[in-house]
């Protein structure tokens, strides 16, 4: 049962992250996602100090605000100070992350957070942390509910705003001319990324969230040219890598989150080489065939 | 104050180790970072920082010891490998660079975490301290570490000094460097190796995540103060060094404080301040310049409209009401009023019974703008063969920019023409 809970929680988070990731990588904002996943740390610490718990509604809200704030900072440095985007991202997230670490050590006694948990979380504790009702009924692991809620919110967000998200991703200029606010949807998407990051923080940590955001979506991107298909493949990859990752972790006796990411890496490697349309080896074979055909057919000789 | 004296007297040998180590690390990674910044590859440092983890763990598993040499070699190999893979993914698939960086850094880090937790669970007693690569241990630097850092810092600085010109060239214009016959690939390789080396050593001081800041932030801050790469490099090194020193001081005063994050906080504070207050490139100075330009254009447009009004009734010096001006061309009321006040103060117009009238200087200035506008329209239609219907917009902008020298050349070239393409008289 424990294995089932862990895999289910991981899968739900992976699907949430993957769906958002599809938009991120097509918007060339993968590194902004990376930045947000680090930058929410001070928000988490402050919310923790104010509310005293780790999975409260206020915390998710506070972190979402910090995520949007860091997106704003990156844009601000880029546009107002004309700092190149990569440097704007690098300066912003390291600064906020450093602030978070300092806050953790200042309030070490009051904050139940440590640096390891920040970096790679601990999903193995999911089945232990149960949600128990007032009358003593056990509803199951708390993280599972958080993951399910996150997925529901994200799916709702993407369903309701699909047209606008799609449009602002593929043709922002056209979107602007028909009155869809590009920056509003950008901030909404970043808000969703921040919220998901925070919700998944406990389980998978800051850096592995990035792998879940980018990995499945990148694999799917190499397998299809249609956006809807890409999202479906992403969900599939998220499920497979969560399950395989769990058993890899059990086998080598290591971090489950780390193992899930390792599986994502392996799957990406396979896709990179063998994807029918975009794989490196497949492209080479096509080229060879084409060269052969030209040689044998040799027209006008 | 006492702690400050105590700190700078360096009576405690451990203070020397921590301080010198922090300064050397911050300064040398800032120097290398300057070039990755200029190549617009700032985040590559972040990727390397995350990717060294599996190398360190593998080296430990294979060698069974924590000998720094083995660990550094392991780190170097995977750090390097990650950059090669990122390049290959961007080059050979439709995946963009940002996705490739995010993917590789997180995947390598994930593998590293898997290996690290595996080592920790295996109960090998020798493994304690491996996680200092994750979070850094700047406050725990000792004399032995200092030797390593010192050597690496010297290697980095000397290499950059030796190849300064070449590095500068490939940062700005790789194809020109190639045309010159420089080994661009080799120089790229060199810069990559320098980055990896800086990361591998620096990571032990500040940790995985914050290593990116050590490379990027000083360079970004220095860029705001100068356009000269040499000065920028030195400035970045100084800013890095100062933050290293201050970070060491903070953790001396408050031992519970982590040194690495404080170094990053201080260098970030320097950078943020630079973004705002730097002359010329800073946000404030840019804003001031922009306002000044907006005002100048507003004032010149206003004087121009007074001239147009004067042309209409053949009375240049007639006093005009605000309504008359707005009817000729719409200006927002508040900007119009402040512009009128400014022009009056500068002696270009006078006010009589609520009406505004040119002074001699104002007439001259307004007439010049009108002349430049019409000269430019003529130039565009005569020399650029642009239809007279399409020249107005362009002239509307350029009339504020043309210098007296250009004005003379235009007049001469067009041989002091009488009228513009719309048959309007050009005033001299």
Minimal CA–CA distance to B356: which of B368, B369, B343? B343
**Residue numbers of B between 104 and 123 with CB closer than 8 Å to A:** 105-118, 121-122
* Per-residue pLDDT, A111: 67
A141 forms beta bridges with A130
Q: A284 to chain B: which residues are within 8 Å by CB?
A: none
Q: B46 to chain A: which residues are within 8 Å by CB?
A: 34, 90
Asked if residue B290 lies in contact with residue B236, where contact means CB atoms within 8 angstroms, the answer is: no
Asked if residue B268 lies in contact with residue B217, where contact means CB atoms within 8 angstroms, the answer is: yes
* Contact criterion met (CB < 8 Å) for A207 and B135: no
Unique residue bearing structure tokens 């800086």: B198
Domains of chain B in sequence order: 13-281 (1.10.3470.10), 285-428 (1.10.10.10)
Minimal CA–CA distance to B299: which of B347, B266, B340? B340
**Residue numbers of A between 26 and 55 with CB closer than 8 Å to B:** 28-31, 33-34, 38
B356 forms beta bridges with B320, B351
Buried residues in A54-76 as b, exposed as e (16+ CB within 10 A)? bbeeebbbbbbbbbbbbbebbbb
Length of chain B: 428
A and B: number of Cβ contacts within 8 A: 219
Q: What residues contact residue A145 under an 8 Å CB cut-off, 6+ apart?
A: A131, A139
A123 pLDDT band, cuts 50/70/90, is confident
* Contact criterion met (CB < 8 Å) for A254 and B99: no
B357 forms beta bridges with B350
**Residue numbers of A between 281 and 300 with CB closer than 8 Å to B:** 283
Asked if residue B207 lies in contact with residue B221, where contact means CB atoms within 8 angstroms, the answer is: no
Interface test with B, best of A255, A257, A277, A279 (most B CBs within 10 A): A255
In sequence order, which ranges of A52-84 are alpha helices (DSSP H)? 57-80
* Per-residue pLDDT, B11: 66
Minimal CA–CA distance to B99: which of B49, B47, B167, B50? B47
Unique residue bearing structure tokens 């940062």: B171
Which two tokens mark B172?
Answer: 């700005």
Phi-psi map region of B117: left, alpha, beta (phi>0 left; psi -120 to 50 alpha) = alpha
Asked if residue A130 lies in contact with residue B253, where contact means CB atoms within 8 angstroms, the answer is: no
* Per-residue pLDDT, A54: 64
CA diameter of chain B: 99
| B134 touching chain A per CB within 8 A | yes
How would you write the pLDDT of chain B (428 residues) with one tens digit per residue?
567 777 676 667 777 777 888 888 889 899 999 999 998 888 888 898 889 889 988 988 888 777 777 888 888 899 889 988 998 999 888 899 889 999 999 999 999 988 888 888 877 666 666 777 777 776 666 667 777 778 888 888 899 999 998 888 888 888 888 888 888 888 888 888 888 888 887 887 788 888 889 999 999 999 999 989 999 999 999 999 999 889 888 888 887 778 888 889 999 999 999 999 988 888 899 899 999 999 999 999 999 998 988 888 888 888 888 888 888 888 888 888 899 999 999 989 988 888 888 888 888 899 999 999 999 999 998 888 888 888 888 888 888 988 989 988 988 888 888 888 888 888 88
* Contact criterion met (CB < 8 Å) for A252 and B114: yes
Which two tokens mark B64?
Answer: 């069974």
Gap between the Cα atoms of B287 and A72, Å rounded:
19
> Of the candidates B93, B105, B216, which has its C-beta nearest A278's C-beta?
B93
> Of the candidates A101, A108, A211, which has its C-beta nearest B110's C-beta?
A211
Q: B54 to chain A: which residues are within 8 Å by CB?
A: none
Interface test with A, best of B99, B275, B283, B290 (most A CBs within 10 A): B99
Asked if residue B263 lies in contact with residue B22, where contact means CB atoms within 8 angstroms, the answer is: yes
Say what the ipTM of the complex is.
0.89
* Per-residue pLDDT, B76: 86
* Contact criterion met (CB < 8 Å) for A254 and B96: no
Domains of chain A in sequence order: 2-296 (1.10.3470.10)
First to last CA, chain B: 70
Asked if residue B30 lies in contact with residue B219, where contact means CB atoms within 8 angstroms, the answer is: yes
A132 forms beta bridges with A138
Gap between the Cα atoms of B304 and B297, Å rounded:
10
* Contact criterion met (CB < 8 Å) for B256 and A108: yes
> How far off is chain A from B102, nearest CA to CA, in Å?
6
Asked if residue B416 lies in contact with residue B428, where contact means CB atoms within 8 angstroms, the answer is: yes
| A208 touching chain B per CB within 8 A | yes
B276 by Cβ neighbours in 10 Å (0-12 / 13-18 / 19+) ranks as: middle
Q: What residues contact residue B9 under an 8 Å CB cut-off, 6+ apart?
A: none
């Amino acid at each position: 049962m424990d294995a089932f809970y862990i895999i289910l929680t991981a899968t739900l988070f992976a699907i949430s992250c993957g769906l958002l990731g599809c938009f991120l990588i097509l918007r060339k904002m993968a590194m902004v996602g990376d930045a947000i996943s680090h930058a929410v740390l001070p928000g988490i610490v402050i919310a923790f100090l104010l509310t005293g718990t780790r999975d409260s509604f206020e915390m998710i809200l506070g972190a979402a605000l910090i995520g949007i704030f860091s997106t704003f900072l990156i844009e601000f440095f880029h546009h107002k100070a004309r700092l190149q985007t990569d440097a704007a991202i690098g300066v912003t997230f390291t600064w906020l992350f450093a602030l978070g670490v300092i806050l953790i050590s200042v309030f070490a006694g009051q904050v139940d957070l440590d640096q390891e948990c920040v970096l790679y979380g601990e999903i193995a504790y999911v089945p232990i942390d149960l949600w128990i009702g007032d009358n003593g009924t056990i509803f199951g692991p708390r993280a599972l509910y958080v993951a399910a809620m996150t997925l529901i919110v994200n799916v709702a967000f993407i369903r309701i705003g699909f047209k606008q998200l799609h449009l602002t991703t593929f043709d922002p200029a056209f979107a602007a001319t028909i009155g869809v606010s590009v920056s509003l949807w950008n901030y909404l998407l970043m808000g969703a990324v921040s919220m998901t990051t925070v919700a998944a923080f406990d389980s998978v940590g800051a850096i592995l969230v990035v792998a879940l955001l980018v990995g499945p979506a990148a694999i799917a991107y190499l397998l299809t040219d249609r956006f809807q298909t890409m999202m479906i493949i992403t969900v599939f990859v998220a499920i497979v890598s969560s399950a395989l990752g769990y058993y890899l972790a059990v086998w080598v006796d290591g971090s489950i989150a780390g193992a899930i990411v390792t599986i994502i890496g392996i799957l990406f490697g396979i896709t990179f080489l063998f994807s029918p349309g975009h794989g490196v080896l497949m492209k080479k074979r096509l080229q060879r065939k084409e060269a052969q055909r030209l040689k044998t057919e040799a027209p006008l000789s | 104050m006492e702690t400050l004296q105590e700190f700078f007297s360096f009576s405690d040998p451990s203070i020397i180790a921590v301080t010198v180590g922090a300064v050397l690390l911050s300064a040398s990674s800032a120097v290398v970072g300057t070039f990755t910044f200029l190549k617009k590859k700032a985040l590559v440092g972040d990727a390397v920082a995350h990717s060294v983890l599996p190398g360190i763990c593998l080296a430990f598993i294979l060698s069974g010891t924590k000998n720094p040499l083995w660990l550094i070699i392991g780190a170097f190999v995977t750090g390097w490998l990650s950059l090669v893979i990122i390049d290959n993914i961007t080059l050979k698939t439709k995946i963009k660079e940002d996705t490739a960086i995010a993917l590789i850094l997180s995947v390598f880090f994930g593998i590293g975490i898997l290996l690290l937790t595996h080592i920790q669970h295996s109960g090998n007693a020798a493994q304690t301290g491996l996680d200092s690569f994750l979070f850094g241990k700047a406050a725990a630097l000792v004399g032995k570490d200092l030797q390593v850092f010192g050597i690496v810092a010297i290697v980095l600085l000397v290499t950059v000094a030796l190849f300064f010109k070449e590095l500068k060239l490939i940062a700005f214009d790789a194809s020109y460097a190639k045309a010159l016959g420089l080994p661009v690939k080799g120089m790229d390789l060199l810069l990559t190796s320098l980055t990896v080396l800086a990361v591998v050593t620096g990571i032990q001081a500040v940790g995985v995540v914050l290593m990116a800041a050590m490379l990027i932030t000083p360079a970004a801050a220095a860029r705001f103060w100068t356009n000269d790469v040499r000065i920028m490099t030195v400035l970045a090194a100084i800013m890095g060094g100062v933050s290293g020193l201050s970070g060491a001081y903070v953790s001396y005063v408050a031992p519970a404080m982590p040194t690495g994050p404080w170094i990053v906080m201080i260098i970030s504070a320097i950078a943020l301040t630079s973004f705002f207050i730097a002359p010329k490139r800073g946000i404030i100075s840019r804003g001031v310049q922009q306002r000044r330009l907006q005002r100048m254009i507003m004032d010149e447009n206003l004087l121009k409209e007074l001239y147009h009004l004067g042309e209409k009734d053949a009375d240049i010096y007639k006093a005009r009401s605000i309504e008359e001006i707005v009817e000729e061309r719409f200006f927002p009321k508040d900007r119009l009023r402040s512009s009128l006040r400014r022009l009056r103060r500068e002696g270009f117009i006078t006010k009589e019974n609520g009406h505004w009238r040119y002074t001699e200087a104002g007439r001259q200035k307004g007439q010049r703008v009108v002349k430049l506008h019409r000269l430019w329209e003529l130039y565009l239609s005569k020399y650029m063969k642009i239809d007279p219907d399409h020249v107005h917009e362009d002239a509307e902008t350029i009339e504020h920019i043309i210098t007296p020298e250009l004005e003379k050349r235009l007049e001469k070239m067009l041989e002091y023409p009488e009228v513009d393409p719309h048959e309007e008289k050009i005033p001299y």
